[in-house]
Amino acid sequence: MVSRKQKFKTVVLVLIFALLIVGGVFGISYYKGGVTFPWQVATTEPEAKESSEEPAEEELKVTVVEADKKDKPEAVKKTKPEAEDKTAEKPVKKEAAKEEEADEESVEEEAETDTADETEEATKATDVAVTGNTLEYYGPLHVEDGKLVDESGNPAVLTGVSSHGLSWYPEYVTKDSIAALRKNWGINVIRLAMYTSDYNGYCVGGDEIQSVLKDNIDKAVEAATENDMYVILDWHILNDGDPNEYKSQAIQFFGEMVRKYEDNDNVIYEICNEPNGDITWSDISKYAKEIIPVIRNVKEDALILVGTPSWSSDLDAVLENPLDYDNIMYTYHFYASSHKSSARNAFTEALDAGLPVFISEYGYVSANGDGEVDTKEASKWNEIIEEYQLSSCIWNLSNKAEGSALINADCDKTFDFTYEDLSAQGQYFFDLLKGEETKANDN
Ligand code: IDC
């Protein structure tokens, strides 16, 4: 009989044996890494998360590379599919390499031509526009038989620009600007338009404005003198249609100017820009007879320009009753897009009658200072200027957003302009200056 004790021993031995077998199998498995304990599960999960983020980064990198490729030249990209053709790997690779080489060369060539074109364009865009034509400086001027002449009686023709309002655009009449106009455009006259009443005008802006304006004039006169140019001091009445309105200020101003510039033969005095409204030639004469002596008392041969009725466009009354002074010229203003054949007919009649006329302001655009260049009318006016050898100043030297401004509104430069910096009227004027080589010099 098997005792209870023996039974118990046998059970324990079997259990131990079983435990050894299970433990052995488990141990081998664990060694091989096939077992994961519950506590290990908790720590491995985040690792799995982390590694799942990595491919995302890879994807991103790929996108970036693709994006880079897109920017590469077409020719370089083309070689890629051919190089991938495994059926004829070697020859294709060679071909591809050759093509790539050729393509690269052509890309280089293209790039070279592109750069050359770009450089040419860039140079053109940055080239200062130069007429290559310097108009003559004649020394002291006077008027003989209705014509402007030099000391020997030879005709003198002044061709240049008018500033915009001196208070508005003083930056275009600095020393640098005037020197550059003389050097690059070759013009021989600049008109300083000093408004009397409009926009911080001399008679409405107070003492401070007056001294700034006089300072600007001083610098401009000095620059004009240094550069052998004539300079017109323009008492620019406009809204104040009657020159008599600010007569006492005019007397004071011209008295001061002529004393300052007594020795400057290049300074010309324009005593009223454009009388207008119901102002007659007799009103203007009255004014002129007070201002002219103020100037002549100091400089007896000063050249003086006198405005005429209707915005300086009516010479009829003047013809009937001219002023009794030497060295006087009457101003005539035209705007080609507004003033056409009837204006020209009246104008040439006055010229034929021997009236001394100076075109101290004109435009090829419309009389409101805006609009397009009327080339058809402009050339007819230019024929007259040429035929009668007239002196003239084009309106206006500024970059104001209006057709008459000579400089484009988006150009910040105030001198050394490129051709592209010039407005349509600026380019038209510049082209004329270029072709007018004989106009002033041949006479
Ligand atoms: C214009 C200017 C314009 C300004 C206006 C008012 O071009 O920018 O706003 O004056 O001051 C003239 C005048 C001249 C005018 C010009 C164009 O003499 O001052 O300039 N013009 O309207 N007479 C006929 C035309």
pLDDT tens digits, residue range 281-334? 999 999 999 999 999 999 999 999 999 999 999 999 999 999 999 999 999 999
Banded pLDDT at 9 (limits 50, 70, 90): confident
What is the residue with the minimal CA distance to atom 10 of ligand 1?
369
Q: What is the pLDDT of residue 126?
A: 78
> Are the beta carbons of 271 and 305 closer than 8 angstroms?
yes
Strands 304-306 and 267-270: parallel
Strands 142-144 and 147-149: antiparallel
CATH value of 142-434 in 3.30.300.30, 3.20.20.80, 3.40.190.10, 3.40.50.10540: 3.20.20.80
User: What is the number of the ligand 1 atom nearest to the C-alpha of 312?
Assistant: 23
The contacts of residue 15 (CB under 8 Å, 6+ apart) are none
Other C-beta atoms closer than 10 Å to the C-beta of 413 total 16
Distances from the Cα of 90 to the Cα of 76, 84, 102, angstroms? 19, 10, 18
pLDDT at 251 over 50: yes
Query: In this structure, which amino acid lies at residue 153?
Result: G
What are the structural domain ranges in the chain? 142-434
Which region among 67-71, 93-97, 164-168, 372-376 has the lowest average model confidence (pLDDT)?
A: 67-71
- CA 368 to ligand 1 centroid distance, Å: 6
Banded pLDDT at 77 (limits 50, 70, 90): very low
Percentage of residues in the chain with pLDDT exceeding 70?
Answer: 71
Confirm whether pTM is higher than 0.85. Answer: no
**Average pLDDT over every residue of 64-69:** 29
SS3 410: coil
Catalytic residue, from 100, 136, 270, 361: name it: 361
Encoded tokens for 344 = 């020209």
Q: Which residues are paired to 397 by β-bridges?
A: 163
The DSSP call for residue 329 is E
Encoded tokens for 281 = 């030639």
Best of 332, 395, 399 for a ligand 1 pocket test (most atoms within 8 Å of beta carbon) = 395
Q: What is the pLDDT of residue 236?
A: 98
The beta strand positions in 214-254, using DSSP E, are 230-236
Encoded tokens for 176 = 């640098």
Return the H-helix or E-strand segment holding 354: none
Banded pLDDT at 13 (limits 50, 70, 90): low
- Angle 301-304-310 from CA coordinates, rounded to 5°: 160
Other C-beta atoms closer than 10 Å to the C-beta of 240 total 22
pLDDT at 178 over 60: yes
Encoded tokens for 377 = 């009318």
Encoded tokens for 240 = 């104040």
Q: Which residues are paired to 393 by β-bridges?
A: 160
pLDDT at 79 over 80: no
**Average pLDDT over every residue of 337-349:** 98
Distances from the Cα of 332 to the Cα of 155, 166, 349, 362, 397, angstroms? 19, 21, 13, 8, 19
pLDDT digit string, tens, across residues 24-63: 554 444 444 444 433 343 333 333 333 333 323 333 232 2
**Is 2 or 394 the better-scoring residue by pLDDT?**
394
Other C-beta atoms closer than 10 Å to the C-beta of 246 total 22
- CA 190 to ligand 1 centroid distance, Å: 17
Rounded mean pLDDT of the chain? 81
Residue 231: closest CA among 258, 191, 193, 270? 191
Q: Helical H runs in 366-423? A: 375-388
Active site annotation includes 274: yes
DSSP per residue, 142-180:
EEETTEEE-TTS-B---EEEEES-TTT-GGGSSHHHHHH
- CA 216 to ligand 1 centroid distance, Å: 20
Q: What is the pLDDT of residue 234?
A: 98
> Are the beta carbons of 350 and 319 closer than 8 angstroms?
yes
Catalytic residue, from 100, 136, 270, 274: name it: 274
pLDDT at 436 over 80: no
pLDDT digit string, tens, across residues 217-245: 999 999 999 999 999 999 999 999 999 99
The contacts of residue 253 (CB under 8 Å, 6+ apart) are 202, 235
- CA 273 to ligand 1 centroid distance, Å: 11
**Is 283 or 83 the better-scoring residue by pLDDT?**
283
pLDDT digit string, tens, across residues 379-417: 999 999 999 999 999 999 999 999 999 999 999 999 999
**CB of 198 closer than 6 angstroms to any ligand 1 atom:** yes
SS3 360: strand
The gap from C-alpha 1 to its chain's centroid, in whole angstroms, comes to: 126
Residue 160: closest CA among 151, 150, 172? 172
**CB of 202 closer than 6 angstroms to any ligand 1 atom:** no
> Are the beta carbons of 202 and 196 closer than 8 angstroms?
yes
Percentage of residues in the chain with pLDDT exceeding 90?
Answer: 69
Return the H-helix or E-strand segment holding 311: helix 309-312
Torsion angles phi and psi, residue 61, rounded to 5? -60, -45
**Is 17 or 189 the better-scoring residue by pLDDT?**
189
**Average pLDDT over every residue of 13-22:** 62
What is the residue with the minimal CA distance to atom 19 of ligand 1?
238
Residue 231: closest CA among 268, 178, 282? 268
Range 327-362 burial, b when 16+ CB lie within 10 A, else e: bbbbbbbbbbbbbeeebbebbeebbeeebbbbbbbb
What is the residue with the minimal CA distance to atom 11 of ligand 1?
198
pLDDT digit string, tens, across residues 107-161: 455 555 555 556 555 556 679 999 999 999 999 999 999 999 999 999 999 999 9
**Average pLDDT over every residue of 71-77:** 29
d(CA 193, CA 395): 10
**CB of 270 closer than 6 angstroms to any ligand 1 atom:** no
Query: In this structure, which amino acid lies at residue 377?
Result: E
- CA 208 to ligand 1 centroid distance, Å: 24
**CB of 234 closer than 6 angstroms to any ligand 1 atom:** no
**CB of 191 closer than 6 angstroms to any ligand 1 atom:** no
Banded pLDDT at 10 (limits 50, 70, 90): low
